Amino acid sequence: MSAPLTPAAAGDSPKQTLPCPCPIADAVDGEGEVHLLHAADPALATLEAASSAPGLGGGHMTSSWWWRTRSLNAPSPFQQFGPCGRIMKNSAMVMQIQDPASQRLTWYKPPLTVLVIKKVSDASVLAPFVQLVDWLLQEKNMVVWVESAVLEDAHLNEDVKFKAIREKLVTFKDGRDDLTDRIDFIVCLGGDGTLLYASQLFQQSVPPVMAFHLGSLGFLTPFRFDNFEEQLTSVLEGHAALTLRSRLRCVMHRKGDKRQEAKVEANADARPAANSILVLNEVVIDRGPSPYLSNIDLFLDGKYITSVQGDGLIVSTPTGSTAYAAAAGASMIHPSVPAIMVTPICPHSLSFRPIVVPAGVELKVSVSPESRNTSWVSFDGRNRQELFHGDSLRVTTSIYPVPCICAQDQISDWFASLADGLHWNVRKRQKCLDELSDLTASGSEDTLDEMENMKLYDI
């Protein structure tokens, strides 16, 4: 039995220990993801693996149990219940997970390369972009990467200041160049779409992201550009809190394709499957151009749950709970909560409410055999493709989150985004009694007299 939560040593962040009842051979897949437990910070997670695990009845745990107890950063409860009860002892794997509230950015060495992301052909961001890039090059002596399409902007090339620094920039092309292990730090200029684009560029480990609000909504961009020099200097010195925004790993399985993702050894250099996509907001399954209802079967950890009849289904992260899911009637969930949201789109059942399931489970979505039409799938609004009869989509939480740098902290940033972006709980304040005291005092005697007269007339 793993130890219960214990206070951390002085100067250390509190940690949580979670048991993992599964052999290591069944715990790692083609993406290098630990199926049983997903660490909030993989760099801080440690695994202690045994050759086998005791199963029910004293045997060995079978691979059918691989999804049990998986979690992103859930705490381990005290495992002794009363004088006789306890959780079955199992020492197959132990993973230590840092308390999400204490997640802070640490540089092992000074960052040298920075990727600056801006929306292509967005004139409103040109001046801040040039100012930022020039400062990073001249003041911080950093290697600055930008997308090659950005440099093709005619208005940007007319800027005299930019012409002097253009040749110092390193460029890449989306879809052709691999940025893995090349970037130390990411700066986004614009709206939430820039952060989604950064997530899409890195399908494994993502560098820390600092997002400046220069767009229209700004749920994911907490920083203001007014004093960017001071804020960036503070972050580069390691003074920043992090919000680890979980992502969903989506894998398409086509009918007739019997190939399975290869299992890898624990110490192998794992790579993501070729047909897997990581999404930060949501994966949407809808009826596409068809006039008929979607008829989608939903499975959770291999068990049939329900059929979705309506316009479609949204499977989202807590980060995506304030996006399409919120518009479809789902609750808003803090990004540090280890969960997956399942939200129907215009269901043909008034009792079909959105649900929240643990982060570690695997969801399987397929077109029902009796469905009149196929379905369509999109991943963070991109890579739209058709889901035919016999195909399936498997969705689970990835071990690769997006580490977003906080302007203040996890709580303050999130509630500020709700207030600014959605005007959450904004209403006129009820007047206090002091403001009504004059009215009440002046009219109290008249009101009593009127009541007495009414009684007389009633008699």
Looking at the annotation, which residues are catalytic?
Answer: 192
3-state secondary structure the chain: CCCCCCCCCCCCCCEEEEEECCCHHHCECCCCCECCCCCCCHHHCCECCCCCCECHHHCECCHHHCCCCCCCCCCCCCCEECCCEECCCCCCEEEEEECHHHCECCCCCCCCEEEEEECCCCHHHHHHHHHHHHHHHHCCCCEEEEEHHHHHCHHHHCCHHHHHHHHHCEEECCCCCCCCCCCCEEEEEECHHHHHHHHHHCCCCCCCEEEEECCCCCCCCCECCCCHHHHHHHHHCCCCEEEEECCEEEEEECCCCCCCCCCCCCCCCCCCCCCEEEECCEEEEECCCCCCCEEEEEEECCEEEEEEEECEEEEECCHHHHCHHHHCCCCCCCCCCCEEEEEEECCCCCCCCCEEEECCCCEEEEECCCCCCCEEEEECCEEEEEECCCCEEEEEECCCCEEEECCCCHHHHHHHHHHHHHCCCCCCCCCCHHHHHHHHHHHHHHHHHHHHHHHHHHC
For residue 413, the number of C-alpha atoms closer than 13 Å in the C-beta half-sphere is 26
3-state secondary structure 273-339: CCCEEEECCEEEEECCCCCCCEEEEEEECCEEEEEEEECEEEEECCHHHHCHHHHCCCCCCCCCCCE
Q: How many CB atoms lie within 10 A of CB 452?
A: 8
Give whole-number Cα distances, 458 to 411, 444, 445, 450, 453, in Å.
60, 22, 20, 12, 9
Residues 6+ apart with CB under 8 A from 21: 36, 53, 55, 61, 65, 68, 69, 88, 90, 92
